[in-house]
């Protein structure tokens, strides 16, 4: 009798335990889903290419581009699985370079881009807009190997560029929280001035027309918060 | 340059560095220039190529040398050595930098410099030679030109052409 009561008690306990287990499991799923909807933050590793490229140059006046950019993803569906998110990308660049044959500019620029990104089976499709601006000191340069270079300041030069863009890419998940989002982006831009910046923040390449086509690569290392 | 030759369409914008002073040396006797150096030049300045020219049967000499023009001041000075003889040649000019367009950026033009004493511009106010006589001086303007043929087309680069007669 005592034994049977003990067995029954154990069964009840296990049943209760099971019931208790099944409830946390359900809430786990919700929590998991909620977790995937938490914002993520990404740092663009591709920009390192510019740092390496600039470090390898030793020309005068110095040509360089040091861009950094951070992206925040606000998913309304899972970021790594099938879903979509709003992305907001902000960046900064310090630049120095020659355009228009001999006009040297050194300064800095910032950009903000935002848009919507769809992810499905590891493939990324996104579209959005970008605003990018720059300001720096300009001068023109004539090379003088015998008597020395001639460089004359032409004051401050800056501008604003606004564009629409789209990108395609791939998402590679490393873990539930860490992933790499790589993309190739094409941008159509209008620029306020005919003297461009040697490196527009947010873009790796931009053609030298008033309305021009730009391109950029990204390799965002994304961490879910 | 290669792209320019292949497409045959490249804008000439004039010098992107030190313009050229073409110095013509004439002498009634055979002449051999042993050394030319630019005064106030950088220590790592490239050597100036010694003149090419001819010595005719009438023992008259005509030599030509291309010298770089100092962009940082309105004056360039050179020292020419021929055996024991030394000639210091001083050339005065003014530099005019103007914005051309998005292809060329800024272009440079060399022009005669008004003498400090506000006297008339003459050959000797532009060029001074310690042993030679200045027989002619002229300035060329930069003429940007869109399409250049292999021989340069209509485009010209700014520069100074000076002829000196040595004893």
pLDDT score at B33:
85
CB contact under 8 A, A142 and B18: yes
Residue A22 forms contact with B (CB below 8 Å) = no
Provide mean pLDDT across the span B57-86.
Answer: 87
pLDDT score at A95:
97
Question: CATH second-level architecture of A37-224?
Answer: Beta Barrel (2.40)
Q: In chain B, which residues have their Cβ closer than 8 Å to the Cβ of A208?
A: 102
For residue B124, the distance in angstroms to the closest alpha carbon of chain A comes to 24
CB contact under 8 A, B108 and A103: no
Confidence of residue A37 (pLDDT cuts 50, 70, 90): confident
Q: What percent of chain B has pLDDT over 90?
A: 53
CB contact under 8 A, A144 and B17: yes
Question: What SS3 state is found at B60?
Answer: coil
Confidence of residue A62 (pLDDT cuts 50, 70, 90): very high
Confidence of residue A105 (pLDDT cuts 50, 70, 90): very high
- Is the pLDDT confidence value at B148 over 70? no
pLDDT score at A12:
47
CA distance A113 to A186: 13
Window from A36-40, A145-149, B16-20, B72-76 with minimum mean pLDDT: A36-40
Confidence of residue B50 (pLDDT cuts 50, 70, 90): confident
The domain ranges of chain B are 2-166
Confidence of residue A15 (pLDDT cuts 50, 70, 90): very low
Confidence of residue A121 (pLDDT cuts 50, 70, 90): confident
- Is the pLDDT confidence value at B150 over 50? yes
Q: How would you classify the pairing of strands B94-101 and B35-38?
A: unpaired
Nearest to A170 by CA among A217, A125, A124: A124
What's the gap between Cα A89 and its chain centre?
5
- Please write the tens of the pLDDT for every residue from A168-214: 999 999 998 999 999 999 999 999 998 999 999 999 999 877 788 99
pLDDT score at B58:
57
Provide mean pLDDT across the span B93-99.
Answer: 96
Confidence of residue A75 (pLDDT cuts 50, 70, 90): confident
CB contact under 8 A, B70 and A142: no
- Is the pLDDT confidence value at B1 over 60? no
Per the structure block, which two tokens stand in for A57? 């140059």
pLDDT score at B8:
44
Do A187 and A212 meet the contact criterion of CB atoms below 8 Å apart?
no
CB contact under 8 A, A144 and B13: no
Do B160 and B91 meet the contact criterion of CB atoms below 8 Å apart?
yes
CB contact under 8 A, B18 and A147: yes
ipTM given for this complex: 0.86
CB within 8 Å of B60: residues ≥ 6 apart:
B26, B27, B28, B29
Residue of A nearest to B44 (CA): A146
Residues 191-220 of A with CB under 8 A from B: 194-195, 208
């Amino acid at each position: 009798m005592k034994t049977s009561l003990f067995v029954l008690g154990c069964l009840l306990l296990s049943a209760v335990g099971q019931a208790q287990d099944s409830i946390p499991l359900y809430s786990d799923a919700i929590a998991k889903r909620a977790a995937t909807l938490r914002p993520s933050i990404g740092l663009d590793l591709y920009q390192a290419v510019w740092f390496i490229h600039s470090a390898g140059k030793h020309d005068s006046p110095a040509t360089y581009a040091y861009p950094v950019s951070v992206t925040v993803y606000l998913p309304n569906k899972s970021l790594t699985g099938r879903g979509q998110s709003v992305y907001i990308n902000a960046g900064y660049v310090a630049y120095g370079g020659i355009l228009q044959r001999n006009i040297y500019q050194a300064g800095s620029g910032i950009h903000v881009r935002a848009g919507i990104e769809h992810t499905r089976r590891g493939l990324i499709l996104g579209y959005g807009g970008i605003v990018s601006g720059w300001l720096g000191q300009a001068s023109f340069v004539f090379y003088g190997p015998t008597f020395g270079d001639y460089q004359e300041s032409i004051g401050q030069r800056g501008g604003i560029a606004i564009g629409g863009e789209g990108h395609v890419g791939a998402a590679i998940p490393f873990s539930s929280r860490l992933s790499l989002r790589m993309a190739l982006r094409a941008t159509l831009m209008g620029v306020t001035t005919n003297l461009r910046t040697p490196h527009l923040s947010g873009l790796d390449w931009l053609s030298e027309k008033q309305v021009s086509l730009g391109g950029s690569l990204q390799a965002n290392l994304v961490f879910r918060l | 340059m290669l792209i320019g030759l292949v497409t045959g369409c490249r804008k000439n914008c004039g010098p992107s560095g030190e313009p050229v002073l073409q110095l013509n040396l004439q002498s009634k006797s055979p002449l051999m220039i042993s050394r030319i150096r630019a005064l106030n030049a950088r220590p790592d300045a490239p050597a100036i190529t010694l003149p090419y020219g001819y010595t005719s049967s009438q023992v008259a000499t005509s030599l030509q040398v291309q010298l770089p023009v100092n962009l940082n001041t309105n004056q360039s000075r050179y020292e020419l050595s021929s055996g024991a003889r030394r000639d210091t040649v001083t050339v005065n000019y003014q530099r005019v930098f103007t914005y051309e367009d998005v292809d060329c950026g800024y272009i440079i033009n060399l022009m005669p410099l008004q003498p400090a004493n506000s006297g008339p511009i003459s050959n000797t106010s532009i060029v001074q030679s310690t042993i030679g006589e200045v027989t002619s001086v002229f300035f060329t303007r930069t003429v940007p030109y869109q399409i250049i043929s292999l021989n340069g087309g209509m485009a010209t680069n700014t520069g100074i052409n000076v002829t000196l007669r040595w004893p």
